[in-house]
Structures are given as C-alpha cells and as structure tokens.
C-alpha cells in the first residue's frame, strides 16, 4: 500500500487525512467525558480548524529533525496542491498549511505507518491544548 500512497496526489491524501484526523479528534474529545453533541462539536473545532493545524505544522517544521524528509515531502504535496475550494474562516496560507497537515496524515494512514501516525496525532492535539488562545 505504501507504493500506492506515494502515488496519490495532495488532494487525495488530504481527503483521507481529514477523515482520519476528524475521527481521532472525536475520540479524543469523547475521552474527556463530554457527551453533549453540541459541546463535543465545540470542543473539537479548535483541533480541526485550519489555523490550529497550520500552527501545528509550523511548530513541527521549526525543528530540524522532528519530521522525516519523506513526511515533509508529503506535507508539501498537500500544501502545494491547487485547491478548487476557498478557505472558510481561514487565511489562504493557513488553509494551504492545513491541507498539507491533512495530506501528511493521509499519507501516514495509507502507508500503514500507524505507530508514527498515532505519535503525530497525539502531538498535534497536545500542542493545540498547550497553545490555545483564550
């Protein structure tokens, strides 16, 4: 599956990455004990919005060795993808970086690199928790 994952374009990787990250975040907010659908949705938004994902990527990229070269390549594949949609409630820069984040998540999932995927997803929500505004 890794060979096929390497052939997918950034949009396809981001498509599956968005879903994988959404399920992870929903599981994460449920694990905190909340059960009200409205409160669950509000709790999840800070993790899945483009601005938060963009900040996570900026943080990871600020280290020379946090992401592998292959992971950076997959991030860039998504970030540089020509999107046919416009960003909602996000700058174009944040939207593109978030698409790169989702592309990386999608590539890790499609490549069956589940251990690394788990590490990065947990690191993403931890970073957002530690650096949220307000």
Residues assigned a catalytic role: 18
Q: How many CB atoms lie within 10 A of CB 75?
A: 25
* Alpha-carbon gap, residue 19 to 87, rounded angstroms: 17
Q: How many CB atoms lie within 10 A of CB 115?
A: 9
The alpha carbon of 75 is separated from its chain's Cα centroid by a whole number of angstroms, namely 10
């Amino acid at each position: 599956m890794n060979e096929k994952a390497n052939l997918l374009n950034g949009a396809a990787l981001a498509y599956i990455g968005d879903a994988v990250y959404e399920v992870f975040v929903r599981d994460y907010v449920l694990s905190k004990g909340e059960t009200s659908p409205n409160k669950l949705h509000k709790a999840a938004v800070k993790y899945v919005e483009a601005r938060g994902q963009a900040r996570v990527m900026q943080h990871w990229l600020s280290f020379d060795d946090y992401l592998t070269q292959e992971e950076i390549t997959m991030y860039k594949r998504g970030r540089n993808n020509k999107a046919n949609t416009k960003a909602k409630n996000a700058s174009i820069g944040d939207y593109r970086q978030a698409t790169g984040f989702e592309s990386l998540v999608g590539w890790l999932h499609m490549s069956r690199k589940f251990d690394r995927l788990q590490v990065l997803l947990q690191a993403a929500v931890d970073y957002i928790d530690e650096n949220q505004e307000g």
